[in-house]
Structure 1
Amino acid sequence: MRIVAEYPSVDFKITVFSWNGKYLLKIEKGMFEQTYKISEMDITGDEEVKKIIEDPVFVEEIKTRFKNMNQSLNDALNRI
């Protein structure tokens, strides 16, 4: 597995890996992470990966998913 790029931002850290015919987008925020696997056959290269990462709708959905993950964990902790 090799690191293709890193995109630090105010909201989270994004690391792009190339591995086994796929791009892996690893997005981290605090103790949570999301990973997306994209086949190298589905895109033409690193520039298209960057376009995905910069897509404002995708970024907002990532933020919402992190909020939901945090809420789910807090709810579970409150039930025990």
Structure 2
Amino acid sequence: MRFVQDIPHAQFRISLYAWNGKYIVKIEAGPYEQTYKISEMDFSDPETVPTMLDEPFLNRVAQRFQEMAIDWQATGERNEVF
């Protein structure tokens, strides 16, 4: 996997990679990570990938991270780990 660039964001760490004919967008927040694989054929230039990361999309990403944290806490409590 080849690192392409970091995409600046105040709330998340966002990295772009290229691998096996795909761009991989990795979004991290604390212990959680979301990964999106996009065909390189969908973009003529990797510089256009950050335009896909608009406010509505990143708001949903933030909501998904919150849901992941809730799910993780709930399974820890059910299994008496936390």
TM-score (norm 1): 0.91
Letter in 2 for 1:39: S
Q: Which residue of 2 aligns with 1:73?
A: 72
Rg larger in structure:
2
Count matched residues. Answer: 79
Report the 3-state secondary structure (helix = DSSP H, G, I; strand = E; otherwise coil) of the residue aligned with 2:50: helix
- Render the CA deviation track for 1:47-74: whole Å, top value 9, x for unaligned: 3201012x11111011001000000001
Mapped partners of 2:33, 2:66: distance in 1? 11
* Pairing 1:28-39 to 2, within 5 Å after superposition: 28-39=28-39
Q: Which runs of 5+ in 2 are unaligned?
A: none
**Aligned amino acid, residue 64 of structure 2:** R
Deviations 1:11-65 (A, max 9, x none): 1100000111000001111110000000011222213201012x11111011001
1:15 is matched with 15
Task: Indicate yes or no: 2:54 matched with 1:62.
Answer: no
Q: Aligned-pair RMSD on alpha carbons? A: 1.0
- Identity fraction in percent: 42
TM-score, structure 2 length as denominator? Answer: 0.89
